[in-house]
Amino acid sequence: MRYRQDDFEIFVDPSSRRKPAAKLFVEAPARISAHIAMNGFIGAYTYVRDGSRLGGGVRSIGRYCSIAPGAVLGDGQHQLDWLTTHPFALDPEQGENEKELPRKAPPKATIIGNDVWIGANAIVMRGVVVGDGAVIGAGAVVTKDVPSYAIVVGVPGRILRYRFPRRTIQRLLKLRWWRYTAGSLKGVPFHDTDAAIVEIERRKKEGTLLRINHPLLRIGKENEAWWVRKEENIKKARGIYKASVAKTQLLLPEAPKPPKPQVYILSKLLKYIRKIARISKGRQA
């Protein structure tokens, strides 16, 4: 279904299933073809491809994100240290318990930063925070927080490398280009990262960049969606995004490990030479 307001459009695939409890704010423009169980915020220019699942643990997905088919984000988890992992023990309506049993701690939220690319069939576990500009490789299983601009691959997910040098990443995180509309970024040489940063900084200084302040669509139960009008609800949606941004900004790239001292290297070399000498002496004997 297509929802239009002014020059903006949000597309929600009619085949997308929505849980009754799902309450979602979507910032225009966006395109969503996924099973929706999340209760939170999806930013402008983000698209979620078919077969993906936005689990109940997802709180926020930032702007300019690309989520490939089959990705699973923030889905439910089972109690590994209980007698059973089956969810009937948590729900009094399914089991014989008169009341819901307490968990050790409330489940943490999954947060996806801005300009994040999540590959096909990747899984981001509940409680994981993915920093701005990160890339999650196809089929990866991400079990811990991902620093900004890191490329994560494998099972379990590990950092393969960073997209840019540390200094460039710091400039990008300071610039936060995803705050601006795609129209006001037209003509930026994105293929040349350094030149693009300089150009965006210039436009920012000149005041020609337009901040995103686009309409918000509220998605409720199945087949229910409406444009947000009330100021208090708009503030609520922006508040969810703002709080999530604050968490992703803490995920700075890991500092490079200092080189090992030369004394340490010489010590290892001497041990190796002594070992070879002992072996040689033993053979002569």
Tell the burial category of 53 from Cβ atoms under 10 Å away from its Cβ (0-12, 13-18, 19+).
buried
- Work out the pLDDT band at 272, boundaries 50, 70, 90: confident
- Work out the pLDDT band at 92, boundaries 50, 70, 90: low
- Output phi, psi for 198, to 5 deg: -60, -45
- Beta bridge pairs of residue 26: 42, 217
- Where are the extended beta strands (E) located within the chain? 2-5, 8-12, 23-27, 30-36, 39-42, 47-54, 58-61, 66-67, 72-73, 110-112, 117-118, 123-124, 129-130, 135-136, 141-142, 150-153, 158-162, 216-219, 225-227
Active-site residue list:
78
- Work out the pLDDT band at 171, boundaries 50, 70, 90: very high
Count CB neighbours of 95 within 10 A: 15
Q: What angle do CA 203, 208, 209 make, to 5 degrees?
A: 80
Q: Which domains does the chain show, CATH number per domain?
A: 2-164+213-259 (2.160.10.10)
**pLDDT value at position 102?**
64
pLDDT higher than 60, residue 237:
yes
Average pLDDT for the chain: 87
Percent of the chain with pLDDT over 70: 86
